[in-house]
A and B are shown apart, each in its own frame.
Chain A
Amino acid sequence: MSNPATLAATVAGADAIAAELGGPSGPRPRVTFSRRNIILYGTLIFAAIYYLIPLYVMVVTSLKGMPEIRLGNIFSPPIEITFEPWVKAWATACTGLNCDGLSRGFWNSVRITVPSVVLSIAIASVNGYALANWRFKGADLFFTILIFGAFIPYQVMIYPIVIMLREIGLYGSLTGLVIVHSIFGMPILTLLFRNYFSSLPEELFKAARVDGAGFWGIYLRIMLPMSLPIFVVAVILQVTGIWNDFLFGVVYTRPDTYPMTVQLNNIVNSTQGVKEYNVNMAATIITGLVPLAIYFISGKLFVRGIAAGAVKG
């Protein structure tokens, strides 16, 4: 891949695929004020406004001081912009005795999220691969159970899992939490991967078999390189889910490894008589920034990944 020519070819190829995946046929329509375009963009902008109102309220509120919030209405822009709520949410907000805001849990969240995302995706992708290409007797039964598992409310499983983790000696440890996240991410992810792998041309798989490649060989040398987009999709789903998790993070770990959402909860629910809405909003946005960044970075791949994965079921 270091060869510039190859790189260029790859990029060109990717562009070609992008063009091919680009939607209904025909030349790119001229952007004019045709009736069609007015309806099209009008609808999209109207929808976008609905989606953006809460974000607007959050941002505006987070930039106001408390007196202004009490006086003004929630939609009015700040008269005097202050970044103090952001500083407070990140660095000084108190939850109980600890007054170091969200920053306290940030690295814990990273430490929880990274291995959980990696492990859960590794397991689910192998599951999906086995289900799609190496189906063995009973595999469908296990997969059906897994899909059923997607519907179990997490809360019901808290105590059985406490008992299981206690018995294998992992209760209260980061490892235990990572396993729990892998377990609960498994149903949806396995579904995604299974659909993706079974949509890949079967000829590839057969050719590799003829060449004598085994289970792991095909997975590592053929399936993995071809399925980067679906891995991005899985990363987005898992990062969102695990980063925002509160329940598991707080039940299965100890205070020194609590994720950021615990602080978020403590800030949002912890009030000094009057709720500090500006700090609440700032804390909220800060907490959401990591998954948002993942969306921005991988937006294009996200769509193409799902396209390849879910299309042919």
Chain B
Amino acid sequence: MSAATRPSKLFKNLNAKIASIPMILTALCVFVGGTTWTVVYSFTDSKLLPRLRFVGIEQYERLWASQRWIVSIENLAIYGILSLVFSLVIGFLLAALLDQKIRFEDTFRTIFLYPFALSFIVTGLVWQWILNPQFGVQGIVRGLGWESFSFDPLYNADIVIYGIMIAGLWQGTGLVMCLMLAGLRGIDEDIWKAARVDGIPMWKTYLFIVIPMMRPVFITTLVIIASGIVKLYDLVVAQTGGGPGNASEVPAKYVYEFMFRAQNLGQGFAASTMMLLTVAIIVVPWAYLEFGRRR
């Protein structure tokens, strides 16, 4: 990097360092400080208010003995993997379709993007409605005469997490599409020309030439989608409240409810520590490699 190679680098970097003070403060005080705070209090028996009365790993023992926590993790794993794959695939496909010099591109793009503007409280409410067995899709189809038709993903414990994903994808794929479309727009025209001259089929060009070139876009998108998945909470609360039973519980909801509803901060912090630990193990080395070496 240019600045780093200059002889008077300490002085030259001073401005950059001063300008980065908000970032450094945020990283250290809020993210590191806050996380440390959380981890420390996860070893206490804090109830309504944070208190430093240490109880060892009691909160963690209880956490892993909890059926609900196990279900939450399973759900997050299912939801996370599927929603990551589907978001990327659907987002990319829509972007590729829009990129065929079609008419009404603005209209289509806006249609795919608008759900992003609506808050989660609302997204969940509308889908809760459409998926309600009495007056939603199932009711309509049955009303048309197909009596045995069954589509009640929010009221069936076995498939409820997929029901939530239907709404989650509706809400989130528009943004992914936009990012992908932008990536596609940045691909050099010459690449396409060369591919065409060589007689490479379009799908092969996408798969073996274009997608590898879009790696940075995929990384930006990946971070955005993945952070959304880990924090998944509002969508579940708005649609099912975690039900039926505990079938659609997710970790962030566990954390939130134990912190505030059950007034057991220690338990909530233990759960969030487990979440953050997992994230840290995956994200930190990856991010350091990904962003540390470039340029």
Contacts and interface: CB of A to CB of B under 8 A. Distances in A.
Interface of A: 20-26, 28-29, 31, 40-41, 43-44, 47-48, 50-55, 57-58, 73-75, 123, 126-127, 129-136, 139-157, 159-161, 164, 182-183, 186-188, 190-192, 194-195, 198, 202, 205-206, 209, 214-216, 240, 244, 246, 261, 264-265, 268, 277, 280-281, 284, 287-288, 291-292, 294-296, 299-300, 302-313
B186 interface: yes
Contacts of A155: 233, 252, 255-256, 259-260
B275 A153 contact: yes
Interface in B91-128: 94, 97-103, 106, 108-123, 125-127
Contact of B231 (A154, A194, A261): A154
B30 A135 contact: no
B151 to A, nearest CB: 13
23 contacts: A24-B192, A29-B100, A40-B97, A51-B115, A134-B15, A136-B17, A140-B291, A142-B23, A142-B28, A148-B31, A149-B31, A151-B276, A151-B279, A151-B283, A153-B255, A153-B275, A157-B30, A164-B30, A284-B125, A284-B126, A303-B109, A304-B182, A307-B185
Contacts of B275: 153
A287 B130 contact: no
Contacts of A214: 15
B170 interface: yes
Contacts, number: 313
Contacts of A52: 111
Contact of A303 (B1, B16, B181): B181
A289 to B, nearest CB: 8
B245 interface: no
Contacts of B186: 21, 307-308, 310-312
B227 A150 contact: yes
A229 to B, nearest CB: 10
Contacts of B38: 156, 160
A156 B217 CA distance: 29
Minimum-distance CB pairs A-B, first 8: A313-B216, A306-B182, A311-B186, A215-B15, A134-B16, A291-B117, A149-B31, A244-B119
B126 A73 contact: no
A147 B223 contact: yes
B119 A74 contact: no
A25 B19 contact: no
Contacts of B204: none
Given A136-B16, A295-B113, A75 B108 contact: no
A139 B13 CA distance: 11
A123 B50 CA distance: 31
Given A244-B120, A303-B181, A57 B16 contact: no
Interface string B4-21: 100000001101110110
Interface stretch (B52-60, B64-72, B133-141): B133-141
B215 interface: yes
Contacts of B114: 51, 55, 288, 292, 295
Contacts of A145: 27-28, 31-32
Given A73-B135, A145-B28, A299-B106, 4 more contacts: A54-B170, A57-B130, A144-B288, A154-B231
B181 A142 contact: no
A206 B3 CA distance: 10
A305 B233 CA distance: 30
Contacts of B215: 313
A204 to B, nearest CB: 12
A308 B183 CA distance: 8
B130 A306 contact: no
Contact of A287 (B119, B216, B291): B119
B230 interface: yes
Interface in B200-256: 214-217, 219-220, 223-224, 226-227, 230-231, 233, 252, 255-256
Contact of A75 (B123, B140, B217, B294): B140
Interface size class of B (residues with CB under 8 A): 35 or more
Nearest to B25: A183
A146 B140 CA distance: 48
B121 A183 contact: no
B20 A264 contact: no
B185 A21 contact: yes
Interface centre among B227, B259, B275 (most CB of A within 10 A): B227
A147 B119 CA distance: 24
A143 B20 CA distance: 10
A294 B279 CA distance: 33
Interface centre among B117, B127, B192, B280 (most CB of A within 10 A): B117
A134 B15 CA distance: 9
A23 B100 contact: yes
A25 B117 contact: no
A198 B27 CA distance: 21
B35 interface: yes
A288 B274 CA distance: 35
B9 to A, nearest CB: 8
A291 to B, nearest CB: 4
A44 B93 CA distance: 10
Interface centre among A160, A194, A214, A291 (most CB of B within 10 A): A160
Contacts of A160: 30, 33-34, 37-38
